């Protein structure tokens, strides 16, 4: 076989699913604390963390060939 088949194994899919869930949960937690904090410096840092986890979720979706829309 000359080319790698375009497929995701069951194990890979399970790991991608776990990665998505970890990042999704961490993003939700960051958003929760963003709403609880009053210090603007900390709010900006928390927003950066939430954005990082959102990008990671988008990458997981893209790896599976899905389209991400805001």
Does this model's pTM top 0.85? My answer is: no
pLDDT of residue 67: 60
Instruction: State residue 7's pLDDT score.
Output: 77
Q: Report, as an integer, the average pLDDT of 51-61.
A: 93
Block residue for tokens 């829309």:
69
15-54 pLDDT, tens digit each: 989 999 999 999 999 999 999 999 999 999 999 999 999 9
3-class SS at 43? helix
Q: Which residues make Cβ contacts (< 8 Å) with residue 21, sequence separation at least 6?
A: none
Strand, helix or coil for residue 39: coil
Q: Which two tokens stand for residue 66?
A: 């899905």
pLDDT for the residue numbered 13: 86
């Amino acid at each position: 076989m000359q080319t790698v088949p375009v497929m995701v194994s069951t194990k890979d899919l399970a790991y991608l699913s776990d990665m998505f869930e970890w990042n999704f949960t961490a993003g939700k937690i960051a958003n929760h604390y963003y709403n609880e904090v009053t210090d603007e410096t900390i709010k900006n840092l928390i927003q950066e963390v939430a954005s990082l986890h959102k990008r990671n979720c988008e990458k997981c979706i893209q790896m599976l060939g899905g389209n991400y829309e805001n």
